[in-house]
Amino acid sequence: MPQNLKIASWNINSVRARLDIVTRFLTEEAPDILCLQETKVVDNTFPGGIFRQLGYNHQILHGQPMHHGVAILSKVPIREDDRLDWQANGEARHVGVRLDNGIRLENVYIPAGGEEPDRTINPKFGQKLDFLERMIDWAAKLDKPTILTGDFNIAPLESDVWSHKQLVNVVSHTPVEVDLLGRLQAAHNWVDIGRKFYPAPQRLYTWWSYRARDWQASDRGRRLDHMWVSPELADKATAHRVAEPCRGWMRPSDHAPLITEFSF
């Protein structure tokens, strides 16, 4: 019997500060599983009770004080949680689980990389590149059908940013980052679900800066958040969209959620 699952991913930029919009999103969209990034909270103060009231009784948390942090909240059983240290310094940037159908779900928050795209003067950029290299090694060894989602902090295609010309030397869209993300995709032949449903050059953004006076009017977006799947899962995805209205809610995250529906 087919199993239908709706999986959402959202960089929430502090789950406690944005609890109202997270609960609104879960009430309106009712995904079966929500992957959060940048929760910014230690595990023992994560507001898990609110999510349990909404039916998300299965919770795998990987948090730390004030920075980073990831979580998977689910209505369906999730098991075998992993926390891989692709940052190599203990930062909480990954959590992975197994679904009862045998599929792996990996939730990642790749570092932003600072302001200057030069590792000699900006160590954060070097950390980002090294993080991706470790992910490439991991992906090359995968032997289970896997969903990889989260905030990748890279907009790979020219049509993934509002202006390729103006952003080509801006961290998140530089050639070295795009090349590394391409190598990561090739390491497992990942299928980019966003571009499966919205082929380039269609507009498809997931992030808009807080600096914009009117984010909708200027629409200077980037596609930093992604949902990738193993090749054998590509035809299991039946729908995908960015829940863009969430960017305009009260006290929003600068990211909008991704929602993918699967039929397994």
| Nearest one of 19, 97, 16 to 59, comparing CA atoms | 97
Domain range list for the chain: 4-263
What is the percentage of the chain residues whose pLDDT exceeds 70?
100
CATH number for the domain formed by residue range(s) 4-263: 3.60.10.10
Mean pLDDT of the chain, nearest integer = 97
Q: How far apart are CA 70 and CA 143, in angstroms?
A: 24
Averaged over 188-199, what is the pLDDT? 98
With 0-12 / 13-18 / 19 or more C-beta atoms within 10 angstroms meaning exposed / middle / buried, residue 47 is middle
Burial class (CB in 10 A: 0-12, 13-18, 19+), 227: buried
Residue range 203-234, pLDDT digits in tens: 999 999 999 889 999 999 999 999 999 999 99
Q: Is the pLDDT of residue 2 over 90?
A: no
Q: What is the pTM of this model?
A: 0.97
